[in-house]
Structure 1
Amino acid sequence: MASNRDQESISGVATPEILVAQIQGWMEEQSRLAAKIQSNFAALADHADALAKLDNYPKAWDLEYKTLGNEVGGRVRLTGTAMTTMMVNAQAVVRDLPNTHAALGKGAIRFEHVKAIEQESRILHNLQHRQPNPPPFADQAEAAEQARLAAQVTALLADTTSSETAAPVISQEQMGDEALQAAQAQIVADLFARYEAAVLPHAYSKTPNQVRAIAKRIANQLTGATLDQRHQHAVDQRCVFVEPLDDGMAKISAVVEASLAYGVLDRITRQAKTILTANRAASRKRLENQEFDSTAATDPRTIDQLRADLLTDLLLTGVPHGHLTNGGESIQARVQITIPMLGLLTPEQLAKVRAQNPALQHVAGIDGNPILAGYGPIDHQTARNLTGQAPGVNRILLEPIVGSVLETDRYTPNTDLKRFLTARDGQCRFIGCGIKAARSEIDHTIPYSQGGKTTNTNLQYLCKSHHDLKHHSWTAQLEPDGIFKLTSPQGQQYVQEPLSQTMYQPPPAHPYENPYFGPPAPELEPQTVPPVGPAPPF
């Protein structure tokens, strides 16, 4: 028998039973809404496909998808890349997994289930992973189904290459290609139908992670791919990426073969243990010799810290060092540090400037936190190490009161105009993009071929992808103060401030002076919250 504490409200709002039922109901409604959004994304993808066929040139598909993806991204304040990915994935679900999409629309499964099922189904498109002679199946029904597919492919090939093939007349080679494509499409369609029928029932009773494991196994069985074939496909996806962390830190990840990854870990672990052993031996020697000098150099690093330092040393210099890292002395990469001008002032000078500019009284970090391009604020010592030791560093001094560039001091020489643009923009100016200037291209707002001048009021940084997109279907306008205005093909305008202003502009005296937010809502008289009713009827 349940106690009263299980049945009655403790907070005075609702019983746990009602709250749980409402959560379930609203999450089911969330799934239904997700299905509607997914349907629209799929329709956008179909529209992009149709436009690309009309355009009929190599980059058409890529540009049409990016155009619509960035149109959505600008409206909902998400990146165009993320929205383009949503279009592709939604189209795959609606086209290849219709029953899964329908289950989401009924609220029977969560979006996470759909994501797992769709992602694990992608291998079904890779017909090159299929073996010429798949392994025997566990039961006769599966063997019969495989035989039916093989017979169907043979029939398709025979029908298409028959001498009775209707007009238009095409070459035998062309007929063979079309027959092969038709056969492959039919095989893929059948594979998806069988895959969905086997996987979807599990989504009604299992978590997304459990469904993913089942889906992976079934997809691999259906393709008949060997471990070697799947491994080669996985090797093709290797990559390196960086994830920003807090407080001047970041995580670098590399997707590589497992044997290499564990080899890297083993090497830096053995090197770290060698350093630890040497440190312990030095400590014992000092004790044996009764050397108790408190100023003697010590290495307090743990094995994890040593491994991290050794890894960065190996990557940046090719040579591991046993000493403590200094955050920049060995770096041979190109970096850009932006330093607020107030960071050069003495405490007395800084106090005087703050007294003369009341708006600066409430500005945290404006008086000296340097900015690492592509990351954000970093500590002073790291900035000093980078700007003082590393070759190819841009040190840019900013006047923080108005956020405009005062001076540039580049260690590796470059043109003044490019240094100015790098200081002002910092990154690609397209909406939602964060690719830094060093990996972007300088673009004429008004094309040079149309009379556009090569000047700071007609130039901005755009990454390669957005550079192509701007010339394809978007229009741009650059204001003298660096404000960049983009207009989408549907007429929606987006205003982008240069990074140098957004990073250093003092905040408004009152938070609601921000133009993106309205005034604060009027304060209401406190009222008694009425009891929550029954769960929603869904």
Structure 2
Amino acid sequence: MNSRELCSMLRRPVPMGDEGARLPDRYWMIRDVIELDNECESPVAGYDEVLGSDFDELSLAHESAQRAQSNVIDSLQRAHSNYRRSRDAVVAHSSSRSHLDRISDDDAMERSFVSEVAARMGISDRAAEAMVREAETLVTDLPQTMDALRLGFTSYLHARTAAQQAWSLPQEARAEFDEQIVGLARTQSPTRFKQSVRKLRERLHPESIQKRKKTAFENRQIEMVPDEDGMAWTNIYHSADAALAIAEEARSHALRVKKAGDDRTLRQIEADSVTETLVTGLAERRASKNTTGTCDHTTETETETESETQAEIGPDGTVTLTRAQFAALRPGVVVTVPILSLLGHSSEPADLAGYGPIDPETAATIIGSAASFTRVLTDPITGAHRIVDPHKYRLSDQLKRDIRLRDVTCGFVNCDAPAWRCDIDHIVAWEDGGTSTSDNLTCLCRKHHVLKHATNWQVSRLSDGSLEWTSPSGAHYIVRRR
């Protein structure tokens, strides 16, 4: 075989699979071809067309995905419009609404639509609500940007950024906003585009930034986002100056500690110092509140010394919480621990309500620091509660405790609100002859509790203990928590 024949052969597909595992000697390695004489052109030269076609296919697939996303937005907006026209079939007018927060028929219909979208798409209500609002804004208020997305001239990320920035603009300013951003959406990267539309939004907004900040400041909050391997994120939404001050102070402290010879990384020191400051400060505040007599009862935190409210940094750089801090910061925490793990005979993870799996060592520390605890034995196969010991539980409502321990979270589709924040609801309403038995009770967060009574969402318990929800559109959803 001469070199030209070899070059021609290399341009053909190389056998794969079982055939490729038994390649004959004529299938040389590319590194051997490069060492041949100059009669053979570079093997790379033969592949430029292949690489080019691959990237062409990638571009077409990306454009197709953007057009598909625009179809989702259009379909969502059409469904929303039809849902509004079917309000009488969605909204309920039962007497059981009287004991809940007042909610208008329009609000009830909107909540029902968002919940239906979330259930159909397998996402949270919050994500569904954002999608519904984005679709409404793009189709109604930003038609040029939406057309660019339909044609594949811009990405969904650009369109989503445009919609979110338009939300705080008054209706009369959105047409000009759309006119000025559509060209930028076709030429700028998503990051640069976001910077540009933020500046444009600032110029077009009739209200001063001081007034808008005052309104936004009312929404300050903290949230915990579970992550993998026993870790989680704590997000604080606050004023920009406060957030920047926290970040800069944490970095300055980390630099000083690192310069003193600490083996941890700067990011690790920052995280540990902020955590220690928050935990220690909150524990001291709780202990101080108890000692000054502002509470009606005495807790074990009153007898702890000042040193016991200080968090400790372990040799591996982790923050170790003291017994006083655990007692002060964890009222009502529910930890489910397999008995063999608690005895040290198994490494099966425990479950921290509101988070998920945690390691047995952390679970044992939490239990060891508790002033009191409730023993719950579960079936080793089904996980169902077998025996509940009520004698050490402070609440007198045995049934409510059992329901919350059983359900763990809200019983609505895709809702993970922790049971301790939920209402206890009768599946069959008391007014309709429902009884206060465990089979007829379930945990529902206030939002979905209101939804159940204000709209025609229906729920029933199946023989295996799961819940079956039927939406006003007739779709069925099964909720299993075990």
Matches within 5 A, 1:386-425: 386-391=366-371, 394-409=374-389, 411-414=392-395, 415-425=397-407
Q: Which residue of 2 aligns with 1:92?
A: 137
d(CA) in 2 for partners of 1:304 and 1:422? 33
Q: Which moved more, 1:391-400 or 1:380-389?
A: 391-400
Over residues 429-487 of structure 1, what are the superposed CA-to-partner deviations in whole Å (9 max), with x where a residue is unaligned?
Answer: 11100001011111111111111110111111111111122222111111354221111
Query: 1:61 is aligned with what amino acid?
Result: D
Instruction: Please tell me whether the aligned partners of residues 335 and 393 of structure 1 are also in contact (alpha carbons under 8 angstroms).
Output: no
d(CA) in 1 for partners of 2:55 and 2:357? 43
Q: Which residue of 2 aligns with 1:470?
A: 452
Give SS of 1:197's match: helix
Q: Which residue of 2 aligns with 1:336?
A: 334
Unpaired runs of 5+ residues, structure 1, are 126-187, 281-300, 351-364, 502-538
Matches within 5 A, 1:422-501: 422-471=404-453, 472-497=455-480, 499=481, 501=482
The alpha-carbon distance between structure 1 residues 478 and 110, as it changes in their structure 2 partners (threshold 3 A), is same
Query: 1:490 is aligned with what amino acid?
Result: S
Q: Which residue of 2 aligns with 1:380?
A: 360
The alpha-carbon distance between structure 1 residues 227 and 67, as it changes in their structure 2 partners (threshold 3 A), is closer
Please say if 1:311 is aligned against 2:356.
no
Instruction: Please tell me whether the aligned partners of residues 337 and 373 of structure 1 are also in contact (alpha carbons under 8 angstroms).
Output: yes
Q: Which residue of 2 aligns with 1:16?
A: 51
Instruction: Please tell me whether the aligned partners of residues 336 and 351 of structure 2 are also in contact (alpha carbons under 8 angstroms).
Output: yes
d(CA) in 2 for partners of 1:59 and 1:114? 31
Over residues 299-340 of structure 1, what are the superposed CA-to-partner deviations in whole Å (9 max), with x where a residue is unaligned?
Answer: xx9464233222222234438725344346213232100112
Give aligned-pair identity as a percent.
Answer: 24
Give SS of 1:78's match: coil
d(CA) in 2 for partners of 1:263 and 1:202? 33
C-alpha deviation, 1:378, in angstroms: 0.9
Instruction: Please tell me whether the aligned partners of residues 377 and 387 of structure 2 are also in contact (alpha carbons under 8 angstroms).
Output: yes
> Which of residues 145, 148, 153 is equivalent to 1:108?
153
Q: Which residue of 1 aligns with 2:188?
A: 206
Instruction: Please tell me whether the aligned partners of residues 311 and 322 of structure 2 are also in contact (alpha carbons under 8 angstroms).
Output: no
Instruction: Please tell me whether the aligned partners of residues 425 and 461 of structure 1 are also in contact (alpha carbons under 8 angstroms).
Output: yes
Q: Which moved more, 1:425-434 or 1:44-53?
A: 44-53
Q: TM-score, normalised to structure 1's length?
A: 0.66
Query: 2:68 is aligned with what amino acid?
Result: L
d(CA) in 1 for partners of 2:270 and 2:179? 50
The alpha-carbon distance between structure 1 residues 393 and 88, as it changes in their structure 2 partners (threshold 3 A), is farther
Over residues 42-92 of structure 1, what are the superposed CA-to-partner deviations in whole Å (9 max), with x where a residue is unaligned?
Answer: 123333444569969943233212222222332332223322321121011
The alpha-carbon distance between structure 1 residues 445 and 32, as it changes in their structure 2 partners (threshold 3 A), is same
C-alpha deviation, 1:204, in angstroms: 1.1
Over residues 118-172 of structure 1, what are the superposed CA-to-partner deviations in whole Å (9 max), with x where a residue is unaligned?
Answer: 11112212xxxxxxxxxxxxxxxxxxxxxxxxxxxxxxxxxxxxxxxxxxxxxxx
The alpha-carbon distance between structure 1 residues 73 and 392, as it changes in their structure 2 partners (threshold 3 A), is farther
d(CA) in 1 for partners of 2:61 and 2:251? 49
Instruction: Please tell me whether the aligned partners of residues 224 and 233 of structure 2 are also in contact (alpha carbons under 8 angstroms).
Output: yes
- CA-based RMSD: 3.2
Please say if 1:323 is aligned against 2:294.
no
Instruction: Please tell me whether the aligned partners of residues 45 and 88 of structure 1 are also in contact (alpha carbons under 8 angstroms).
Output: no
Give SS of 2:168's match: helix
Query: 1:404 is aligned with what amino acid?
Result: A
Q: TM-score, normalised to structure 2's length?
A: 0.73
d(CA) in 2 for partners of 1:278 and 1:197? 56
Q: Which residue of 2 aligns with 1:44?
A: 79
Query: 1:90 is aligned with what amino acid?
Result: A
d(CA) in 2 for partners of 1:495 and 1:203? 41
d(CA) in 2 for partners of 1:274 and 1:9? 54
Matches within 5 A, 1:114-513: 114-125=159-170, 188-189=171-172, 191-264=173-246, 302=269, 304-318=271-285, 321=310, 323-324=312-313, 325-327=319-321, 329=323, 330-331=325-326, 332=328, 333=330, 334-344=332-342, 347=345, 368-391=348-371, 394-409=374-389, 411-414=392-395, 415-471=397-453, 472-497=455-480, 499=481, 501=482
Instruction: Please tell me whether the aligned partners of residues 46 and 91 of structure 1 are also in contact (alpha carbons under 8 angstroms).
Output: no
Instruction: Please tell me whether the aligned partners of residues 221 and 236 of structure 2 are also in contact (alpha carbons under 8 angstroms).
Output: yes
Give SS of 1:335's match: coil
Instruction: Please tell me whether the aligned partners of residues 93 and 118 of structure 1 are also in contact (alpha carbons under 8 angstroms).
Output: yes
C-alpha deviation, 1:6, in angstroms: 5.8
Give SS of 1:210's match: helix
Unpaired runs of 5+ residues, structure 2, are 1-40, 94-101, 263-267, 288-308, 314-318
C-alpha deviation, 1:268, in angstroms: 6.4
Q: Which residue of 1 aligns with 2:113?
A: 68
**Equivalenced residues, count:** 393
Instruction: Please tell me whether the aligned partners of residues 339 and 397 of structure 1 are also in contact (alpha carbons under 8 angstroms).
Output: no
d(CA) in 1 for partners of 2:59 and 2:250? 48
C-alpha deviation, 1:214, in angstroms: 1.1
Over residues 325-379 of structure 1, what are the superposed CA-to-partner deviations in whole Å (9 max), with x where a residue is unaligned?
Answer: 43462132321001123324564xx7xxxxxxxxxxxxxx6xx421000111112
The alpha-carbon distance between structure 1 residues 38 and 304, as it changes in their structure 2 partners (threshold 3 A), is closer
Instruction: Please tell me whether the aligned partners of residues 250 and 270 of structure 2 are also in contact (alpha carbons under 8 angstroms).
Output: no
d(CA) in 1 for partners of 2:256 and 2:280? 16
The alpha-carbon distance between structure 1 residues 424 and 328, as it changes in their structure 2 partners (threshold 3 A), is farther
Give SS of 1:473's match: coil
